[in-house]
């Protein structure tokens, strides 16, 4: 059985988005409560996250932007953008703990303590652009993690596979001119946030290192696995990543209220298996998977269980 790390902290519940907001604390508390009841819970190695430093976040976000988020949370603002991204006074500190959890996972995987790590963090990150909070996201956890892996561990090629139902426009923006990070996204399209067309492939030295696989509403497992077989796996094999990261949103599940894709728990299991095979071939199995979206509590918990069961095989 693979050694798999699990990163979580009850302080992730302190990011208060207010009554009725879909990105609510119950997403991760119910997820953990669900996992507590399965036998595999005892096979996971439980890792305490640490808080990211401002200097570490500044690998992908300007210092001025980071300080503005800190000040706006401290001053009691409750909405950071046009209406989606709700915060509380605690949110800045929780966001540092979320990014730091990803850094801790990368450290553990790069030190070969674990083959893979799942980071049950919030707030999510993949919509956060270098200077813009949006889509429930303050800081881009996965993008910061990829850059941290490069700077801290000397990694030269990081692949990010983003299967959240929404396009990770922030991650794409941050690496759009960068050939050291291969960003791959499967997402409902056209849909929020409006980016992620197939012809968005990067620019300059980064051209060809962004791969978007837009999916029509109503698409399901067959279309997703076909995209993996025909586009994603060949791109990963050509790139030969030294670290594979997953922006693991589970809102492409058929029961999710915020989208129209028809995946099941089994679909996430199959996609996980495919990525494990790639990681085994190219990067000694190293995978750092980071929670993004997923808003039906039952579907989210069951999908994460399927994902973790596969990582443990």
pLDDT tens for the 313 residues of the chain, in order: 579 999 999 999 999 999 999 999 999 999 999 999 999 999 999 999 999 999 999 999 999 999 999 999 999 999 999 889 999 999 999 999 999 999 999 999 999 999 999 999 999 999 999 999 999 999 999 999 999 999 999 999 999 999 999 999 999 999 999 999 999 999 999 999 999 999 999 999 999 999 999 999 999 999 999 999 999 999 999 999 999 999 999 999 999 999 999 999 999 999 999 999 999 999 999 999 999 999 999 999 999 999 999 999 9
Distance, C-alpha 48 to centroid of its chain: 18
Catalytic-residue membership of 127: yes
Quick check: 258 and 165 in contact, CB under 8 A? yes
**Taking a C-beta distance cutoff of 8 angstroms, is the pair 170, 129 a contact?**
yes
Helical spans, DSSP H, in 168-249: 169-175, 221-227, 233-239
What pLDDT, on a 0 to 100 scale, did the predictor assign at position 244?
99
- Domain of residue 16 covers 4-312
- Domain of 297, CATH number, reads 3.40.800.20
Single out the residue of 266, 259, 258, 260 nearest to residue 303, CA to CA. Answer: 266
| End-to-end CA gap in the chain | 5
How many structural domains are present in the chain?
1
243: left (phi over 0), alpha (psi -120 to 50) or beta: beta
CA-based radius of gyration for the chain: 17
pLDDT for the residue 271: 99
CA pair distance 188, 157, nearest whole angstrom: 27
Active-site pick, 86, 127, 167, 253: 127
Burial class (CB in 10 A: 0-12, 13-18, 19+), 225: middle
Angle at 211 between CA 139 and CA 141, to 5 degrees: 15
Spatial contact of 247 and 160, defined as CB atoms under 8 Å apart: yes
Residue 264 contacts residue 254 (beta carbons within 8 Å)? yes
Give the CA distances from residue 104 to residues 109, 122, 145, 189, 256, in Å, rounded to whole numbers and listed in that order: 9, 15, 9, 33, 30
pLDDT at 2: 74
Going by their DSSP bridges, the two strands 4-7 and 116-119 should be labelled as parallel
Q: Quick one: pLDDT at residue 1?
A: 56
d(CA 199, CA 211): 9
Q: What is the pLDDT of residue 88?
A: 98
Phi, psi (degrees; rounded to nearest 5) at 259: -155, -175
């Amino acid at each position: 059985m693979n050694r798999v790390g699990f990163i979580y902290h009850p302080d992730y519940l302190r990011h208060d988005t207010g009554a009725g907001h879909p990105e609510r604390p119950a997403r991760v508390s119910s997820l953990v409560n669900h996992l507590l009841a399965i036998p595999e819970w005892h096979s996971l190695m439980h890792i305490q996250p640490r808080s990211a430093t401002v200097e570490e976040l500044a690998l992908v976000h300007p210092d001025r932007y980071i300080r503005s988020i800190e000040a706006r949370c401290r001053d009691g603002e409750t909405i950071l953008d046009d209406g989606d991204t709700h915060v509380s006074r605690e949110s800045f500190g929780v966001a540092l703990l979320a990014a730091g959890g990803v850094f801790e996972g990368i450290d553990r995987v790069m030190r070969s303590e674990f083959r893979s790590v799942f980071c049950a963090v919030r707030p999510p990150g993949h919509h956060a652009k270098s200077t813009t909070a949006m889509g429930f996201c303050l800081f881009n956890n996965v993008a910061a993690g990829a850059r941290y892996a490069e700077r801290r561990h000397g990694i030269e090629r990081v692949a990010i596979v983003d299967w959240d139902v929404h396009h990770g426009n922030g991650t794409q923006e941050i690496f759009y001119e960068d050939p050291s990070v291969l960003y791959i996204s499967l997402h409902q399209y056209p849909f929020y946030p409006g980016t992620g067309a197939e012809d968005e492939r990067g620019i300059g030295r980064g051209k060809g290192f962004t791969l978007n696989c837009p999916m029509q509403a109503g698409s399901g497992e067959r279309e997703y696995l076909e995209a993996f077989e025909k586009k994603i796996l060949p791109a990963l094999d050509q790139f030969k990543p030294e670290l594979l990261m997953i922006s693991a949103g589970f809102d492409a599940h058929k029961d999710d209220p915020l989208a129209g894709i028809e995946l099941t728990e089994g679909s996430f299991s199959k996609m996980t298996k495919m990525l494990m095979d790639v990681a085994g071939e190219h990067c000694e199995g190293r995978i750092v998977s980071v929670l993004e979206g997923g808003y039906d509590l039952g579907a989210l918990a069951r999908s994460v269980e399927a994902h973790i069961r596969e990582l443990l095989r």
